[in-house]
Structure 1
Amino acid sequence: MVDSDYSTDSDDELPSGWEERVSVDGKVFYACHEVQKTQWHHPVSGKRKKVIGELPYGWERKIGDTGYVYFIDHKNQRTTFTDPRLAYAVEDKLEPGGAFTIKQKYDCNTSASKILLGRDLTGRYAVITGANAGIGFETAKSLALAGCTVVMACRNVKSAESAAAIITTENSAAKVEVMHLDLASLKSVRRFAEEYTKRGWPIHMLILNAAVLSPPYTVTEDGLELCFQVNYLSHHYLCNLLQHILVRSAPSRIVNVSSESHRSRSTTVQSEKDVTLEKLSPSEENYNGLAQYGVTKLLNIAFSNALNHRKVMHKVFSNSLHPGNLIPTSLSRNWWGYRLLFTLLRPFTKSLEQGAATTVFVATCKELEDVGGMYFNNCWVCQPSELAQSPEFCEKVYQLGEQLLLEKMGPGAFDIPVEMKSGF
């Protein structure tokens, strides 16, 4: 018996011949092309919805000569009749007296399993970095139990295999693969991409989840500060090397797990002028672990926006998100003070499954099938910091990343041998 708190999303799907649009005042209406009629209530569920809030950064609404509404996405130079806020429309419920109240579909209490209730992801492939523990593991488990083939890309293969066994114990039909990926080594990133390409699998969801929080100052084998490389640069490299698969698998999604820490005023990056190797990969005397974590989370959003700008034409969409504050993950392992803080605040924070909800939402929600360049928190779109929204800043971050990868890996840094590119 299904818990009464849970409801399937199937009644929100539109029947064939119907289209969803938004009026000038933000109310959602439904048009049936077969009989040429429109109505305010959903043809299946009977729900009324509306969009609220401002248009996402870079979007503009226009009204044509005959009164029709259309939208311009200036970041990606495209025009559409679909209001981008439809991806997170909310239900209007008529209360006694005729007033409407707004109800958000998902919130901070939503679990990943609730988002996927009733979904069948059979035939879909998801690659998740850092999937052996914490939010990454909960994301992997939720997707696998919904039928998705999950590839756990992890540094600790033994730990990942144990995590995979937990998932398959819960459901023997779950499809979980483990592959080695050490984000502290650009050579390891390349080996992973080459091996994945040889296997001939598609990628419908590339979830960039792995991160380190305030480790002791460490320089990687590539001569870069550890947090900068693991949280940002190696993920940038991974996306670049797998882009041919993402395009062939389209529509596909890239999910960048960032953090509200990107707003920190204590970081060394406060403007476009600060996008330098010295500021992003600091020396030991200029290193502050917590501030550096905030810098890398800012880079995640900037990279996501710049990447979406490049790939949206290929039906590859990139979004970023904040999973939640002080969720009890292995991120706190590097200092006893963080472990104590995480323990004390545990009763007031999200569970791991709730922490994975926004990642799962962004990776799978049907309403986001054609949406990119956005930032989400609690399964809801919101505005990141002003700097993270700056196209100039995002582009400068992306270009510096490309330059660094070429310097570290040589002229063939982004090439995958043709013979490895088997079909799927």
Structure 2
Amino acid sequence: MSTQIAPDVVEHVHETARRARVAARELALLTRAQKDSALVAVADAIDDGAADVVAANAEDLRRGRERGLAENLLDRLTLDEERVHAVADALRQVASLPDPVGEVVRGSTLANGLQIRQVRVPMGVVGMIYEARPNVTVDAAGLGLKSGNAVILRGGSAASSTNAELVRIMRAALEAQGRNPDAVNLLTEGGHDAGRALMTARGLVDLVIPRGGASLIRTVVTESTVPVIETGTGNCHVYVDASADTEMAVEVVLNSKTHRTSVCNAAESLLVHREAADRVLPRIMERLAAAGVTVHGDRAMEGYAESAGAAHVPVTDEDDDTEFLSLDLSARVVDSLEEAIAHVQEHTSGHTEAIVTADRAAARRFTAEVDAAAVMVNASTRFTDGGEFGFGAEIGISTQKLHARGPMALPELTTTKWVVEGDGQVR
């Protein structure tokens, strides 16, 4: 570590983790019905407290605007009453999902009569380090509760008032249900030192999940001594193949880019096969122009953008690697499927990549060669989401390859243990 963490912050985080470990042991003993009842109670409490949450959020938004927070970050930060109720509904959806704890992954009876089975069990204590996304506060708490884990949350300072109100409501609801409120914990003191203390609390914290920008994720991955599941940035591509249906290509590109620009599954790069360019690009550029998108294009792309009246600038190598999170899009015309795949492989962040094609062989090759957590065929990149996949709320989208990859929901918050039963066998 480059600098020493303040001892009082370390002790505060460690004491929080010790209380969380007690709560985690209690959670591990709960039945599905007990956990689901607690989740519904928490959801009801959030609904009832929506006005208080929105008022706290208004404080965060006011401070954010005073600090000059970018519009895409303000969008991520904002919770109106509709969004608060949606967050509560996500908890109810989690309650309706199967409980992964106790699921038998595999098992057998050995020749000597030993019965062995591998079963899912909670991780224990999960730390979340994240930025201005107050919905993550509730999603992480709900998924942790359902999977039998206690959570320690370290949210960004931009959402401090909102997070504090949400956690106050959730802890009070758990206590009213007779459950240990230390199942949900929020680190409100210590600034960045609290996050650093959390990710070095090895032996007290079982797993850390960062969720946010590239700088945050890089810091957690490089400095943490607690195991980390990396949730990476989303430099997502849409490739329009030579055989693509024009109308489908237009709709997939537009939805991927403009449906919501501030999220990690929004498209940031467009590739179009030269044989499809004259057919699809005039329509695509017209719609991008209407949506206010600035095209960072190569020479060919700039010609189509200019003809359609779309804002455009020359594309740079840096643009190819940028997660804009705004109405900006890098765009190139390519000569072949091979060139498209090579470009994606060079610049992908491993999140989500999409191909629009009527050629099944091209689709198979793209899905086989592109190395990403999710690969879409004739569908928007915006579908890489735990809710859209039917998992309920997600705790993040993993772009690594170990343990979990893609949207992480309940099973990804468990590990396994081997249970072996015999009747006196010895080796």
TM-score range (shorter-chain normalised) is: 0.3 to 0.5
If asked which structure has higher relative contact order (CA below 8 Å, sep 6+), I would say 2
Q: Which structure has the bigger radius of gyration?
A: 2
TM-score (norm 2): 0.34
